[in-house]
Amino acid sequence: MATMEDFLDLLKKLLEFDPALRITASQCLQHPFLRDFQFNINDILKQDLQYQ
């Protein structure tokens, strides 16, 4: 399970000013904060459409 420290670490890496040092999208998805997060975009869209 992700921790506050994981979140803060990811946020710090996302906000890195130098693009050469900033975390990439692929690296972001492999970060401990997001690694265990699984979602299905189709399920999300279905839920969104139900409320419209």
Cβ proximity of 28 and 7 under 8 Å: no
CA dist., res. 40 & res. 48, Å (int) = 13
Mean pLDDT by runs of 10 across the 52 residues of the chain is: 90 98 93 78 68 62
CA dist., res. 42 & res. 28, Å (int) = 21
Q: What does pTM read for this prediction? A: 0.68
